[in-house]
Structure 1
Amino acid sequence: MSDLPVVVVLRRRFRALPHLLVDGVLAAVVTLVQLWPLISRDDPQGGHWHWWGYTVAVGASLPLVWRRRAPVTVLVLVLTLLSTYDLADDVARQPIWYGGLVALYTVAAYAPPWRRVTMLVLTIVGGLVLVGSSETALRGIVLFAAAYAIGRAAATSRAHAAALEERAARLERERRMEAERAAERERARIARDMHDILSHAVSLMVVQAEAGPVVVRSDPARAEAVFDAIAAAGRDAMTQLRRMLGVLRDGGDETSGDGGDGGDAAPRVPQPTIADLPVLAEGIAGAGLRVAFTESGRPRPVAPDCAVAAYRIVQESLTNIVKHSGAARADIRLTWEDDTLMIDITDDGPGAGRALPSGGRGLIGIRERAAACGGSATAGPRDDAPGFRVTALLPVAAS
């Protein structure tokens, strides 16, 4: 609130006050103003003014305490009392119309259209009939018309301010909702990346670790390669996790250069893309699965998010093959067409029915990644041979 103008802050604090308190103070002020001609000077003939003048001055002011609750009733009561001011002869010849002005202002500001117009007409006509002096009548018409105009201006300003506040509140709600949706999308993206990185690395490490005790006794040289593969998978996973955590901590770009603020921070290398798929296939082959990588057609430019999605889709598909299929061979085929890149991953394993285990999100993440960059993905058992197939279509630049 300290950044708001002082006038705005004061206006908000004033509006926060109870209406009955504000109107009570206003009624007291009007009472004092209307009594002032009677208490500031004595009757020229000596003594005090007639008691009826005091009664009208006070009686035409006190109803203002309830002016917002019953504006028309208060106006009628005030004008009725004011019209009886001259019933007594020994009263100060002083127009006492402040209560009527405030009451008409309230009617103009809060009453429905037909009521406020009716009361304005009755007030002016009644004033012309009761006031004998044309000069006084003209002055009264000008004052009451001005009070009515000010009341309408206040009502219009209040309605405009309410509309602006409602619009600001609506925009704030929409901003919060959009921020929440963006946060949800970001959490989903981070969850997919964490799943792909950890699931892939851990699967390779488990497979290699299970084979380690066997080859240690029969083939020590191969056992050394197995342990090297486990270490390489762990290092790769740590590098990618540090990159992701660095982005989360610093809010930086994942494709920036060196990052981090300490000596142990991993360099922020670019995210893996289509060009890194042969290296991914070689790493999987080290786990005992024969992987063939083929590419046909002329490679085309793809959007950065599609390039990352292509790598993650292949990575998750190979992870599922290692974990669930029991396959001995996997094939990765990239087919470049005019406006699409088709990625086809197949295996020959007998465990196709277990490719999407209960509670797993691997294939769901594949479909989400493809859809996020304007493509699509399907997965299911192969029709031409035993095994499982994952096919993804991603958009590329037109030729």
Structure 2
Amino acid sequence: MRSRPVWIRLPISIPSIVVDAVLALSDIVVSVLLAREDPQGNWRHTDAFGFTLIVLINLPLIVRRRAPVTVLLMMLVMQIWYISLGYWPVVNSSGVLLAVYTVAAHRSIRVLAGCAPAVSATWLYAGLDADGGSMLTVVAQALVIPSGICWFGVSARRLSERNAQFAQLTARLAREQAARARRAVTDERVRIARELHDVVAHHVSVISVQAGLAEYVLDSDPPTAQAALRTIGETTREALDEMRRMLSLLRADTEEVWDPEHERVPEDRMAPAPSLARLDEVVRRIRAAGIEVRTRRVGLARPLSPGVELCAYRIVQEALTNVLKHARSARVDLVVDYGPRQLRITVTDDGGGGVPIPAPQRPDSGRIGSVAAHGLIGMSERTKLYGGTLSAGPRPDGGFEVGLVLPIPAEPAVRTGNEGDT
């Protein structure tokens, strides 16, 4: 197997004072070497005092970033002194240009506008002291060279400012991404809580009613009590399976989901989410609790997206569960209408008129109690997530109605009308 090259990056950060000290030392060395040459014209030969001045002129470059204006003015004053003594001014030109570049890169245009003419004036003063040569050339150099250096310095400062802005934008983007991630985690937790609420509320309600029925007919009708106990067992197993499937998908530990013996994910752990095809199971449990449920399907049933299927399933489940909690002797009509571009579901009950099936009493027995209200809020939020509308409220002639409308893809075939009543 061919190995990939490994790149090692060493996080080395050199302090700016060290960099400036190296630059100052390098500039002094270059200036001293240049001063050792014989200058053309009437310039004074560099002696020991001249070399000392060269060192003193360029030494302030060590702190050029901390006090750029002060460093530049000190160098210009000493450079004028150096020129007035008759030494060759070209020797210290590189250091002065580096100083004015630093001012342009670290200070405002207003400050630079006051310093750049001083550099040009020093250059012109050196040209006046020169023996021979073209003054026009001196003027051109005094104007063009410092201006070019200032332009590079200003460009460097603007680039640094843009980099700082980009760094701020990057940091803000990172904070916004972290905030969106936290919101996504919160939304996911809310979704999981809603799913768990729907699962637990429905199945526990069925178990509660069946337990009350079994207790009520235990002595007088043992077969009915046994049937109720069987329904309790089936409902409990289904609730546990559904909760196990939901929670197993959320586990980060793959060992809990992976089956090492068969080298695949167990099918019972990765079962599909509930859909409209399983509404008959919900209706059967509600009927087993003693509620008459009539179902009617209109239009051509067709596969929908898993999210829409789960949304519709949970809302029907919640609506039937509310009937089981608050109107246990009601008659319910469930209509599922597959329209050309909309799925319409209505769950209507008449409020109940007979003797209710015995069940454990609840302190919030009102139809729009706190539990039901939270359930309706969850149903409404789930509906909005898929661009639908939900209506829920009492009927004028008694009872309660829940209506759901969800947008769905266009119908692939001609609508067939009523498909059947059960």
Identify the residue that residue 273 of structure 1 maps to in structure 2: 275
Q: What letter is aligned with 2:78? A: L
CA distance 1:202–1:123, change in 2 (3 Å): same
Q: What letter is aligned with 1:159? A: E
Identify the residue that residue 397 of structure 2 maps to in structure 1: 384
How far has the Cα of 1:23 moved from its partner?
A: 7.1
CA distance 1:71–1:229, change in 2 (3 Å): same
Q: What letter is aligned with 1:129? A: Y
CA distance 1:232–1:358, change in 2 (3 Å): closer
Pick the aligned partner of 2:290 from 279, 288, 291. Answer: 288
Q: Is the 8 A contact 1:272 1:308 kept in 2?
A: yes
Alignment of 1:314-325 (within 5 A): 314-325=316-327
The whole-number CA distance in structure 1 between the counterparts of 2:169 and 2:368 is 51
The whole-number CA distance in structure 1 between the counterparts of 2:182 and 2:35 is 66
Identify the residue that residue 82 of structure 1 maps to in structure 2: 79
The whole-number CA distance in structure 1 between the counterparts of 2:388 and 2:89 is 89
CA distance 1:352–1:371, change in 2 (3 Å): farther
CA distance 1:94–1:129, change in 2 (3 Å): closer
Identify the residue that residue 44 of structure 1 maps to in structure 2: none
Q: Is the 8 A contact 1:243 1:267 kept in 2?
A: yes
Stretches of structure 2 that go unaligned for 5 or more consecutive residues are: 1-5, 38-45, 353-363, 412-422
Pick the aligned partner of 1:364 from 370, 377, 384. Answer: 377
The whole-number CA distance in structure 2 between the counterparts of 1:368 and 1:213 is 38
How far has the Cα of 1:79 moved from its partner?
A: 1.0
Structure 2 SS opposite 1:390: strand
Structure 1 SS opposite 2:370: coil
Choose 291-300 or 130-139, whichever is displaced more: 130-139
The whole-number CA distance in structure 2 between the counterparts of 1:345 and 1:82 is 95
Q: Is the 8 A contact 1:272 1:311 kept in 2?
A: yes
Q: Is the 8 A contact 2:69 2:103 kept in 1?
A: yes
Identify the residue that residue 219 of structure 2 maps to in structure 1: 217
* Cα root mean square deviation, aligned: 3.7
Structure 1 SS opposite 2:91: coil
CA distance 1:251–1:304, change in 2 (3 Å): farther
The whole-number CA distance in structure 1 between the counterparts of 2:330 and 2:372 is 25
Alignment of 1:1-399 (within 5 A): 6=9, 9-10=11-12, 13-14=13-14, 17=15, 21-22=17-18, 25=21, 29=25, 32-33=28-29, 36=32, 49=47, 51=49, 54=52, 56-88=53-85, 95-131=91-127, 132=130, 134=133, 144=146, 147-249=149-251, 260-261=258-259, 266-349=268-351, 353-357=366-370, 361-385=374-398, 387-399=399-411
The whole-number CA distance in structure 2 between the counterparts of 1:262 and 1:324 is 47
Q: Is the 8 A contact 1:104 1:147 kept in 2?
A: yes
Structure 1 SS opposite 2:29: helix
Q: What letter is aligned with 2:209? A: V
Q: What letter is aligned with 2:402? A: V
The whole-number CA distance in structure 1 between the counterparts of 2:294 and 2:23 is 92
Identify the residue that residue 45 of structure 1 maps to in structure 2: none
Q: What letter is aligned with 2:403? A: T
The whole-number CA distance in structure 2 between the counterparts of 1:96 and 1:198 is 86
Q: Is the 8 A contact 1:243 1:268 kept in 2?
A: yes
The whole-number CA distance in structure 2 between the counterparts of 1:318 and 1:355 is 14
How far has the Cα of 1:314 moved from its partner?
A: 0.5
The whole-number CA distance in structure 1 between the counterparts of 2:103 and 2:83 is 25
Q: What letter is aligned with 1:384? A: D
Q: What letter is aligned with 1:108? A: A
Q: What letter is aligned with 1:398? A: A
CA distance 1:241–1:247, change in 2 (3 Å): same
How far has the Cα of 1:377 moved from its partner?
A: 0.7
Structure 2 SS opposite 1:342: strand
Q: What letter is aligned with 1:372? A: L
Give the TM-score of the pair, scaled to structure 2. Answer: 0.75
How far has the Cα of 1:335 moved from its partner?
A: 2.6
Q: What letter is aligned with 2:81? A: T
The whole-number CA distance in structure 2 between the counterparts of 1:186 and 1:348 is 36
The whole-number CA distance in structure 2 between the counterparts of 1:118 and 1:392 is 75
The whole-number CA distance in structure 1 between the counterparts of 2:289 and 2:277 is 21
User: Per-residue displacement from partner, 1:245-273 (whole Å, max 9, x unpaired)?
Assistant: 22112699xxxxxx643788834222121
Choose 340-349 or 117-126, whichever is displaced more: 117-126
Structure 1 SS opposite 2:273: coil
Stretches of structure 1 that go unaligned for 5 or more consecutive residues are: 42-47, 253-258
Identify the residue that residue 360 of structure 2 maps to in structure 1: none
User: Per-residue displacement from partner, 1:320-357 (whole Å, max 9, x unpaired)?
Assistant: 22223344322212233332222111223379843342
How far has the Cα of 1:185 moved from its partner?
A: 2.4
Q: Is the 8 A contact 2:287 2:293 kept in 1?
A: yes
Q: What letter is aligned with 1:25? A: A
How far has the Cα of 1:374 moved from its partner?
A: 0.8
Q: Is the 8 A contact 2:207 2:235 kept in 1?
A: yes
Q: What letter is aligned with 1:67? A: R
**Structure with more relative contact order (C-alpha pairs < 8 Å, separation 6 or more):** 2
Q: What letter is aligned with 1:396? A: I
The whole-number CA distance in structure 2 between the counterparts of 1:356 and 1:297 is 35
